[in-house]
Amino acid sequence: MSLDKEWDSIRPDRAFRAADAGMGILRITLLFGSAAVALALIATPFLDSQLRPQGARESLTGGLDLSSTGSIGRRDTYTLRRSVLQPLPSSVCVIRNDGSRYGEC
């Protein structure tokens, strides 16, 4: 018996399969891709705080918190109307539920 025949009896699947290589490449790609995404999520805020000076951030907002909240009473119903035909873009017409109007209508 030759050595090749003995090896084939012990390990008959010596042939290279492309499917095995494809799964290995896929796993390596997923590994490095997920590592790149994690690094980008961690490094972006850190680099933003390091590269932009503190004064530049405050000059954009003036040091103010620009979020605002508000509430209205439940009994008071009104409609706000804005139109491109009004003289100023910030003009607002307020119409109450009884039909009275105020503002720039």
pLDDT of residue 30: 95
Mean pLDDT over all residues of the chain? 76
Q: Quick one: pLDDT at residue 19? A: 63
Full-model pTM: 0.35
Give the pLDDT score at 36: 96
Do 83 and 71 contact (CB within 8 A), yes or no? no
State the average pLDDT over residues 3-32. 73
At 35, is the pLDDT very low, low, confident or very high (cuts 50, 70, 90)? very high
Q: State pLDDT tens for residues 56-105.
A: 555 555 666 667 666 665 667 788 888 888 778 788 888 888 888 888 87
Q: State the Cα–Cα distance between residues 57 and 66, nearest whole angstrom.
A: 13
- Polymer length of the chain: 105
Whether residue 51 is predicted with pLDDT greater than 90 in this model: the reply is: no
Cα–Cα distance between 81 and 102 in angstroms, integer? 11
Beta bridge partners of 83: none
